[in-house]
Each structure stands twice: as structure tokens, then as C-alpha cells.
A and B are shown apart, each in its own frame.
Chain A
């Protein structure tokens, strides 16, 4: 199967909406307001933290907030001087900073980051473990969730040749992103 036809191509996977469990978006936004817009989204690799953060950003922008994004990863664990300048320039109460990958910052870097965010109306981060900001939502994965996602994007023509959602979930150790990448490879071999 060609890359452009692969149902698990990154463009298609990125379109998968985050599935909130145990709360509605309204409740989540209300809880965020109560936390004074300083909160964390916690969960392991591939559990949907980034997807949730992006969705939250869209909804907060609709409420009138001006959103500024920053993303840290193992490959890029620090912000460049130019990125920092853009992120912190002229912050006001209407600005919300969304930081993806806060676990990349050391304790000292994190304190420095917090200090520089003081002028902003809020700071929402994603991280693997709780402790840096009050937890707004804990992202969890399950074989059932993977099955739901697969049923939404996996075409019937290839679905029967796939391992079960339980097997894929187990092999990827609960990392949904990894499981979907494995599905890409399975489709590419077809």
C-alpha cells in the first residue's frame, strides 16, 4: 500500500479526536477555571496528552484566550533563544501558555520557566508524572480505547488481517501512538 493511501498515515492519525472519559468538556473547562488556568495533563507516552492539549487550546481560543504553544521533546529538550523570546514577549492576562513535554525541564529550568510565565493568564502543561502543577486530567489508555480508534480508521479490507486490539495494545505496552505506527507498517506491507 502506498503511503498516501495508508489509513494510518500521520495526517489521518492526527485527526483522531481525544476521547474524554469521566468528564465532559464543559466540566473540564470549569475545573481548569477553578485551578486558575494553571494545570497539568498527565500520562505515559502515547496516551493522548498532546492531542488533549491541542483540543483544549482550540476550545480556550474560542473563549477569547490568546494561545501560545511550546513543545519540548527528547530530540529538542530546550527552547531556543528565539523561541523563548516569542513565547514570553509581551505576556498579558489574556495569554495562555501551553507547554507540551514539561518533563524535559530540570527542576531549576522548570522554576525559571514558571517565573517567566508569571505575566500570563495561565499555563497548561503535559507531563509524564504529577507534581509540577495541579492535575487537570490523567490520560489513560486501554485495549478497548485502541479498538475504538481502530474501528474508526481501519478499513474493512485490511481489518481481518490485523492482530487483535489486545495484542497490539500489549505489544506497544499501552502506547497508542506506537500501536498506530505498527498498524501503518502492517498496512504498508499489504
Chain B
């Protein structure tokens, strides 16, 4: 039975942007794969069309049927891992060998303070608030969209 795994150094799953990410990958397959590679990438999840970007790929030369290799990535300064109600940006490592079926993925967090950025809710003022803005607090923009603080 095929088995693939990605192990991160010290078992860490969260990193600061620009930090170095190291670890090992291990696979045990029915036969030697023609190719084996590890991808560092980000992708979006949410209500709309998904977006993704591969930042770096490491190819492992002459992969054996049962093998363990080490890897090292330099994380880029952006984008940050973030999550709101409409969209999340997720960083991940993906180990791919030969056929598309032989894939494993490990999600990580890349953000300042090693904490996923949580987006607040954009609140559109209601009729009463707009009336207040217009007649009581003159000079302030009417119908503006305000960004609430973190959830």
C-alpha cells in the first residue's frame, strides 16, 4: 500500500513570513516512482473562484521505492495566511509522486506572529446610521463602508 508523509522540523505548523522551513518527506510505494517532488504553494478557499500560486518546487532525484529526503524552503514575505467569512488564503506543502493519486498535502500557517490573520466584517451602515451621518455628523462621508475590528 502506498504511503506518503511530510514532516516539518520540530513539528511546527506555523511560520513567520521570510522564515526558513525545513523538514523531511517520506514515501513507501509499490514501485520506484519516476518523479517525486515537493511543492510550496498557497491557495484560496471560499465562496468564489479559487486562486493558487506555486512558490517553489523541490525535485528529488532518483527516488526509490521507499525513501526519505530532507527539504528546505525560504518562505516569501507574502501573502499571509488569512481567513474571513468569504475567503481564506491557505499555505500548504504537497508531495507528489508520479501519478496524481499519489499525493499528500500538509497545510501550514504563514503570517506575522505565526498566527493566521482573521478578517473582520465590513459593516454597511443602515438607513438610520446614514441619516445620522448626514444630518447630525455633517462633513463625514455618507454611506461609507467601515472595517470592524478583528473577530
Q: Which residues in A have some Cβ–Cβ distance to B below 8 Å?
A: 1-4, 6, 8-11, 181, 184-185, 188-189
Q: Which of chain A's residues have a CB closer than 8 A to the CB of B77?
A: none
Q: Is the CB of A3 within 8 A of B50?
A: no
Q: Is the CB of B48 within 8 A of A10?
A: yes
Number of residues from B at the complex interface, CB < 8 A: 14
Distance in Å: Cβ of A11 to nearest Cβ of chain B = 6
Q: Is the CB of A188 within 8 A of B49?
A: no
30 A-B residue pairs with Cβ-Cβ distance under 8 Å, sorted by A, are: A1-B85, A2-B83, A2-B84, A2-B85, A2-B88, A2-B118, A3-B45, A3-B83, A3-B84, A3-B85, A3-B86, A3-B87, A4-B45, A4-B46, A4-B88, A6-B46, A6-B47, A8-B47, A9-B46, A9-B47, A10-B46, A10-B47, A10-B49, A10-B50, A11-B50, A181-B47, A185-B47, A188-B85, A188-B86, A189-B85
User: Complex Cα distance A184/B88, Å?
Assistant: 14
Q: Is the CB of A11 within 8 A of B45?
A: yes
B110 at interface, CB cutoff 8 A = no
Q: Which of chain B's residues have a CB closer than 8 A to the CB of A6?
A: 45-47
B90 at interface, CB cutoff 8 A = yes
Distance in Å: Cβ of A50 to nearest Cβ of chain B = 13
Distance in Å: Cβ of B118 to nearest Cβ of chain A = 8
User: Complex Cα distance A68/B49, Å?
Assistant: 21
Q: Which of chain B's residues have a CB closer than 8 A to the CB of A10?
A: 45-50
| 1/0 contact string of B39-57 vs chain A (CB within 8 Å) | 0000001111110000000
Q: Which of A4, A8, A11, A184 contacts B83 (CB 8 A)?
A: A4
Q: Which of chain B's residues have a CB closer than 8 A to the CB of A8?
A: 47
Q: Which residues in B have some Cβ–Cβ distance to A below 8 Å?
A: 45-50, 83-88, 90, 118
Q: Which of chain B's residues have a CB closer than 8 A to the CB of A4?
A: 45-46, 83, 88, 90
Q: Which of chain B's residues have a CB closer than 8 A to the CB of A185?
A: 47
Q: Which of chain A's residues have a CB closer than 8 A to the CB of B49?
A: 10
Distance in Å: Cβ of A132 to nearest Cβ of chain B = 27
User: Complex Cα distance A181/B49, Å?
Assistant: 12
Closest A residue to B81 by beta carbon equals A4
Distance in Å: Cβ of B136 to nearest Cβ of chain A = 30
User: Complex Cα distance A10/B46, Å?
Assistant: 6
Q: Which of chain A's residues have a CB closer than 8 A to the CB of B87?
A: 3
User: Complex Cα distance A6/B50, Å?
Assistant: 14
User: Complex Cα distance A182/B16, Å?
Assistant: 36
Complex A-B, nearest 3 residue pairs according to Cβ-Cβ distance, in ascending order: A4-B88, A3-B46, A188-B85
Q: Which of chain A's residues have a CB closer than 8 A to the CB of B84?
A: 2-3
Do A184 and B90 contact each other (CB < 8 Å), given the known contacts A2-B83, A2-B84, A4-B83?
Answer: no
Distance in Å: Cβ of B116 to nearest Cβ of chain A = 9
User: Complex Cα distance A10/B85, Å?
Assistant: 13
Q: Which of chain B's residues have a CB closer than 8 A to the CB of A11?
A: 45, 50
Known: A2-B118, A4-B88. 20 other contacts (CB 8 A): A2-B83, A2-B84, A2-B88, A3-B45, A3-B47, A3-B84, A3-B85, A4-B46, A6-B46, A9-B45, A9-B46, A10-B45, A10-B46, A10-B47, A10-B48, A10-B50, A184-B47, A188-B47, A188-B85, A188-B86
